[in-house]
Amino acid sequence: MGHKLEKKYGLLTAMCMVIGIVIGSGVFFKAETILTATGGHLLTAIAAWTVGGLIMIACAYTFSIMATKYEKVNGIVDYAEATMGKTYAYILAWFITFMYYPTVATVVAWVCARYTCVLVGIPDITGGAAMLLTGMYLCLSYGLNALSPKLAGKFQVATTIIKLIPIALMIILGIYTGIKSGVLVHNFSQAPSIEEILSVKPDYVPVEKPFLTALVSASFAFEGWIIATSINSEIKDSKRNLPIALVSGTLIISIVYILYYVGLAGAADNLTMIAGGETGAKIAFTNILGPFGAIMLMVCIIISCMGTLNGYMLASVRGMYFIAVRNEGPNPKLFSNVDSATGMPTNSAIVGLIVCILWLVYFYGAKLAPESWFGPVVFDPSEITIITLYAMYIPIFVRMIKMEKDLNVFNRFIMPVLAIAGSTFMVIAAAISNGTKVVILYLIIFVIITVIGMLLKKPKNSNQIEEI
């Protein structure tokens, strides 16, 4: 038994962490939502994707600057400790361990189960079969990460490559077909009228701020890249490779999203995409590749979600370890132990799985059950945690501007200010999207969990653990 994790991941795995976690199911099913929000104006929709990508790149670039300076155990927690101090870093570590990582992992596992049910013909996506599959996906992902972390890294690379195949096909074939047929030029030059949209979507209501509404939808499709920093102590030459992975990974995602959206515009006209609702992407793939295309899309979505789940579970099983190696939290000696056989903090991994299962119970009872098990305390645990995460970025960026006096103007001021603006927007967007009542209920739960963490912050027997 020891306290240090082995450096086992290279640059490719780090990049696939960034790309593979962000590109989940959202890219396939946000197309209609964003296009509808803009009233069928394709250029406005693409602008929303572009700005959403720039926010992600600004935040990732700013953290990449810190990644060249600080390396301990978990990147985001390390950066918080370096800029805001140990208490702030502990609160952030406790939050991502008990709320952010497990909530998103849980919901992504259900999304995997949902599309598996659709693929095999099970109509009830919230019934016993779906929930059993959800638990199975969680346990399989836990087993992969807890028992064979190197294999989990290879799995992340494989799923990232596989999920990019249908996207690449749509970019190439969609743009080619759209130019040849004239559909692409038509979609860019002419938006459908309100009357035309109402004829295919009777419940359509024009929004007052179409660009902002579309940007809110697009922004959530860019979430998850920060998870790559959770393995910074396990990345070979981390101070070089992690910054490269963050910047190049987020840049690739932004370009892929925009080109994919243009490909969709070549495969189906705007009105058809709006009318198709959540099946808009499926219609576009069917137009290009026939019925086989629809099946291939569903299989790739499942694999894509499995890759995202793998990334979040990879972080979840290390959660208590991130806290314990700093000699904080309950029983640091127990949770900082790294098993010599698996190279993983086994006790931390078990806690990670248990917390995921508890959030699964909440998610089902609050969002999927016919009636809420928790009364008015109902919120989407995977989406609303973004409010807290991005809010906690802001002080880190502000302190970075004050502290890092050796940086040039671009790195010290321009990019951090853009990251602050982007993070602030994400907080506002999430609050608007969920509503005041939901946000208040969530914040009550957040405060309760944080208070519990603070009560457990200093272990009774604080034997020092070796420095990382």
Residues 6+ apart with CB under 8 A from 71: 78, 232, 233, 238, 239
Query: How large is the greatest C-alpha to C-alpha distance in the chain, in angstroms?
Result: 72
Ramachandran quadrant class, 435 (left: phi over 0; alpha: psi -120 to 50; beta: rest): left
Element (H, E) at 197: helix 194-200
pLDDT computed for residue 224 by the predictor: 85
Contact in structure between 92 and 80 (CB atoms under 8 Å): yes
Nearest to 267 by CA among 191, 388, 180: 180
pLDDT computed for residue 461 by the predictor: 56
pLDDT computed for residue 431 by the predictor: 79
pLDDT computed for residue 341 by the predictor: 85
pLDDT computed for residue 342 by the predictor: 85
**Mind listing the pLDDT tens digit of every residue in the chain (468 residues)?**
556 778 888 989 989 989 998 988 778 777 888 999 999 999 999 999 999 899 999 999 999 999 888 877 778 999 999 999 999 999 999 999 999 999 989 999 998 998 898 888 888 888 889 999 999 999 999 999 988 888 988 999 999 999 899 899 999 999 999 999 999 999 999 999 999 999 999 989 888 888 888 887 787 688 888 888 888 888 898 889 999 999 999 999 999 999 999 999 999 999 999 988 767 888 888 999 888 888 888 888 899 889 999 999 999 999 999 999 999 999 999 999 999 888 889 999 999 999 999 999 999 999 899 999 999 888 888 778 877 888 999 999 999 999 999 999 999 999 999 999 989 987 887 777 777 888 889 999 999 999 999 999 987 654 555 444
CA distance 366 to 385: 15
CA distance 139 to 319: 17
pLDDT computed for residue 388 by the predictor: 85
CA distance 227 to 140: 19
Coil vs helix vs strand at 338: strand
